[in-house]
Structure 1
Amino acid sequence: MTNPEELLADPQALEEADQGGTLRLVAMSGARIRRAAALRELDPEAGPVLDAVAADGRPRALVLLGYGTGATVAKLISAVVGAGASVPILSVPGPALPGWIGPLDLVVVASTTGRSPEIAAALTEAGRRGCRIVVVAPPTSELARLAGPARAALLGMADASAPVWARLWSVAIPALLAVEAAGILPAQSYEAAAAAADDAAVRFRPSQEPFVNPAKEIALRCAEHPLAAWSAGPIATVAAGRLADQAALRAGRPVLHASLPDLGRGQLGLLDGSAAASSEADLFYDPEVDGPRTGSAAPAFVLLSEAQVEPRAAVVEAMLNERNLPLSTVVAEQATTLERAAYLIALADFTACYLAIAVGAGPDQGKAIEEFKLRTAQ
């Protein structure tokens, strides 16, 4: 079996081992953001939908319906809007809606497949209650079909040919445009966000050596260790969750994730016990002599941070370094939340791609999701 570090250091071998061209798909995130942001120009029905949302004015509350990747979109929107939101924001996975939701509230549905029965049930209920509704989903999907009976406006997702995991921005940007039109979010610079994704594609590109490519470095750590992804800042928290989801989906590897300051209530315990006991051994570890550390009981750590957002991140970083524990730190220094989101989510997606290649994840990876859907279908 090819050594993972040697594999990730060889761009040609990476390309040959990359089933489905996943690295290229992630590198196209900036293009996806630009395309989705040009929705008014590309879809003649989108302009009237967004104008109608604006004409209805600011709602009493914003309700975000999402499941799977749609739930990540909901978290992303909440993080971009931030704590200074002018209205309450609630994320609901469906199928039930809280009793107070009604005609004064805006419900935004985000779905990369348009097939979720939980979201379909919640959408139908929102329509019955007379809510203002915007659906972002593939235009030929079941949710798109339900939009009419629910008296919901439809923003058709234009990227239905891409794998589901690669559609995040194709759904997130139209949903953000709807939230912006409703007066909840100030006008965003989507071009700046696309540029941040482009920067990430250069920073984490396959030709970059692992020791200067954080995505490759984190993937190699995850291939050898249990991984804890800690975050400082709301956008970093979304990215850490995305990393955990994609590592499990794409490579079958578990990643713990927690955010400051709450990780101090539990996950800081990882710095004690087996992790602390093995830290001295890590000082003398030589992969050429000792071989790969696959299955090592001691965790490795990733710290995703937004610059000047959480001062306690420096304390955590110092504690990990003092214990000689494996640590990868990535700080997003972009000016706006949406730019930082584009950068850190690209990091998470590139890492998952490299990890899947490093561990040799095959075409059966992810089949359990379809099995679960079949076995729980009503």
Structure 2
Amino acid sequence: MAPYIDEALLDDPDELGRKDSRGTLRALASAGAQVREALELAREAGIDRLTEEDRPRSVLVAAVGGSSLVSDVLELLAEPGSPVPVQARRNLPLPGWVGPLDLVVAVSLSGRAHGPLAVAAEAARRGASLLTVGADDSPLAEVSRRARGIHVDVGRQRISSRTSLWTLLTPVLVGADRLGLLDAPEAVLTAVADRLDERATELRPSSESFVNPAKLLAMQLAETVPVVLGDGPLGGVAAQRASSMLARTARIPALCGELPDAASSIVACFDGPYTAVGGRRPGTYDERRIRLGDIDTSQWEPHHFDEPDGELMERRRGPEEEAGQDIFADPFLDGPSLPRLGLLMLRDAPAEPPTPESQQAEMLTEAVLTTAREAGARVMEVRAGTGAPVVRLADHIAMVDFAATYLSIGLGLDPSVSPHVADLRDRTS
């Protein structure tokens, strides 16, 4: 049985504000401003010093929790053309090859997360170069300054790494651009800020649900067991973000994957109990029978009975059943129905001009979507707008962030506060 989402609540800005105790929606709307502020803070921190230094032999990025997407994005954007390897690390041990010729990037909003702090301290001990992003009055900042590294402050009123992604990510992209690992000049990052502003306006709380794509997506997700799939590397990183936000913000577990690698594992789910097919191919006869009068045909084999005078009949699935709903089900006798599988496909902007590789990827995506629809899964698609890769990624991140937050509030949850997470912290502190 799918959870109940209060659609009326989503169209009441005042009620949205009351349910959102720490201003998650407001913080997400500030993403564009976060980019611009981070650009200024990076300049003040002296990040241009990186252009005066030799290019490192390798780059290692340490980030955990809500900050971990920083390393994923850097790997994604650097992979096509970076002259040096870029790797992610969550915690110690620091790889044995890290030394004075390498750069370690450590990211923590509070500057106190154990993993990045320990990695930065060990890297400093070995003489590696440091670029750190976090609170200015934190242990991480102190480690960086002692090692003569570059530390970028995160500014004020940043209370959650989930809603401060662009505060953390922007300085890292600036640094990578200065080192020639990727192409993210200030003009591109300004375009990111502009795109995030556009999405904040489009997805604002005062926009009614029938014209607000994030609210519509939240209502669709609420009716499903969601699976999030990216149609390529960029969509794959966005799918990881969606899975994390759905779990941490909306408390909805969601599988995620990236095409082409995840195609078979995701499509296999279409044969499971959360679709209309439920292990049977679409178009076959339903094993259930209608009982007419005193005659019960439930034991009759399909295709092996007649229909004298129209008294006996075999029923094919109607549209409600193809959608995963059985109009003949009795909730009191049969129990509540299972929620329906939902496939959220995060699609990149079409390649211009098309290439054989992009056309093949498009064919695979369409094949997966067609298979999902035929199986009775609910299909949702989000298409990124055009622009540089990081601009297109910002499109997807804005949509899934707002949708997960609206879903949380619509389910009656506070997107900022999880009692069980607080209990876990108390038990492990």
* TM-score, length basis structure 1: 0.88
Q: Counterpart in 1 of 2:263? A: 264
Counterpart residue identity of residue 305, structure 1 = R
SS at match of 2:68: helix
The match for 1:128 is 125
Change (3 A) 1:82 1:305: farther
The equivalent position to 1:95 in structure 2, one of 57, 72, 92, is 92
Deviation for aligned residue 1:286: 11
Residues 69 and 111, structure 1, Cα contact 8 Å, conserved in 2: no
Q: Secondary structure at 2:180's aligned position in 1? A: coil
Check 1:210–1:285 CA distance in 2 against 1; reply closer, same or farther (3 A cut).
Answer: farther
Task: Find the aligned partners of 1:223 and 1:254 in 2 and give their Cα distance.
Answer: 11
Q: CA deviation at 1:212?
A: 4.0
Does structure 2 retain, via aligned residues, the 8 Å contact 1:251–1:355?
Answer: yes
2:424 alignment partner in structure 1: 372
For 2:31, the aligned partner's letter is S
Aligned to 1:277: 277
Can you list the C-alpha shifts for 1:12-65, whole angstroms capped at 9, x where unaligned? 543443333322221111111111122356x3xx13xx2321111221111111
CA distance in structure 1 between the aligned counterparts of 2:169 and 2:232, rounded to whole angstroms? 19
CA separation of 1:333/1:174 partners in 2, compared to 1, >3 Å: closer, same or farther?
Answer: same
**Percent of matched pairs sharing the same residue:** 32
TM-score (norm 2): 0.78
Shift of 1:314: 2.1
Alignment check: 8 A CA contact 2:62 2:116 kept: yes
- Confirm or deny: 8 A CA contact 1:226 1:295 kept in the other structure: no
CA distance 1:280–1:87, change in 2 (3 Å): farther
Code of the aligned partner of 2:57: R
Aligned mates of 2:370, 2:227 — CA distance in 1: 16
Which protein shows a greater Rg?
A: 2
Higher fraction of helix: 1
Counterpart in the other structure of 1:220? 219
- How many residues align? The count is 370
- Alpha-carbon contact 2:82-2:181 (below 8 Å) kept: yes
Counterpart Cα distance in 1 of 2:65 and 2:159: 16
Q: Which runs of 5+ in 2 are unaligned?
A: 279-318, 351-357
Q: Which residue of 2 is the match for residue 154 of structure 1?
A: 151
Question: Are residues 31 and 69 of structure 1, via their aligned partners in 2, closer, same or farther at CA, if it must alter by over 3 Å?
Answer: same
**In structure 2, how many angstroms separate the alpha carbons of the residues matched to 1:40 and 1:175?**
9
Cα pair distance change 1:83/1:368, threshold 3 Å: farther
Give the structure 2 partner of residue 342 of structure 1. 394
Give the alignment's Cα RMSD to 1 decimal: 2.9
Residue pair 1:225, 1:295 contacting (<8 A) in 2 also: no
Match of 2:301 in 1: none
CA contact (8 A) 2:271 2:375 kept: no
Query: What secondary structure sits across from 2:249 in the alignment?
Result: helix
Structure 1: which amino acid aligns with 2:366? A
Equivalent residues in 2 for 1:32-47 (5 A)?
A: 32-39=34-41, 43=44, 46-47=45-46
SS in 2 for 1:299: strand
Shift in Å, 1:216:
1.7
2:348 alignment counterpart:
306
Report the CA distance shift for 1:352/1:140 in structure 2 as closer, same or farther (over 3 A). same
Choose the corresponding residue for 1:26, options 18, 25, 28: 28
